Amino acid sequence: MIKCDLNRAKRQTAYGPLCALGYYLTQKEILKPLEQVHIPQKTVKHSPTEKLVDALIGILAGCSALYQLNVKVRPDQPLQLAFGRKHCADQSTVAATLNAFTAETVAQLRTAVETIQRQQGQVFAHDYDKELLVLEVDLTGLTASKNAEGSSKGYFPGKRNRRGRQLVRVTASQYGEVLLENLYPGNTTSKEILKETMTEVERILGLDSDEAKRRRTLIRLDGGFGTLEALLARLPVHRQGVFR
């Protein structure tokens, strides 16, 4: 009988492509900016940053909730090693780390993510002289429990009398990259978040200080944001881009 070492649990993984991604991220130190996120929590067995990475692995592995870390990530040692982790923290301690976040911590995490975006995102190297940069803005209703933070009654297509939140997403369609995502209460409308969203987009891409780039940026919106006249009326003159 021939023994196959590949069947050993410690060498098996259900996430081969994700292991390759994790190894690349680790070798290139792409996630290093996360170390600048200061979480007000003591280190016992795993540092707060390590537990933050465990949460990221869970998201990439398709965990719909943190408790799935214990059944999807913790048993998969090759996946943990690929991300530079010898062991995955228990889901309860990862949840405690996320619960320890303050407003300042969230701001630091956003800064770290934007740093990674600028280092790796193709959209930041876009050649404005060659072609327009096309950004698509969309507001999507996500149903949620009435106890979820920000959950309220609102418009959710095909789901009457439901509660949830609204997700605004800005996508650079030419590169398949998500530039910005923000979550709002379920009763938020497209018109309410447009100005704030465009201000964030300008800051991230540096359009607020570069008139030439702003004029070479095309914003695509659906009908929920209103007519062109209404849009221009709500935006300051210096922020009026090209709308379709």
Q: Is the model's pLDDT at 144 over the cut of 50?
A: yes
* Interval 9-23 mean pLDDT: 88
* Interval 98-102 mean pLDDT: 94
Q: Is the model's pLDDT at 3 over the cut of 80?
A: no
> pLDDT tens digits, residue range 73-92?
999 999 999 999 999 999 99
Residue 39 to residue 98: CA distance in whole angstroms: 9
Burial of 128 (0-12, 13-18, 19+ CB in 10 A): middle
Binning pLDDT at 50, 70 and 90, where does residue 174 land? very high
Binning pLDDT at 50, 70 and 90, where does residue 235 land? low
Question: pTM for this one?
Answer: 0.80
> pLDDT tens digits, residue range 17-49?
999 999 999 999 999 999 999 999 888 899 999
3-state helix, strand, coil in the chain (%, to 5): 50, 15, 35
Dihedral pair phi/psi, residue 143, rounded to 5°: -70, 150
Q: What pLDDT is stored for residue 109 in this prediction?
A: 95
Binning pLDDT at 50, 70 and 90, where does residue 9 land? low
Mean residue pLDDT of the chain comes to 88
Q: Is the model's pLDDT at 192 over the cut of 90?
A: no
Binning pLDDT at 50, 70 and 90, where does residue 130 land? very high
Residue 33 to residue 50: CA distance in whole angstroms: 13
- Both tokens of 174, joined, read 């030419």
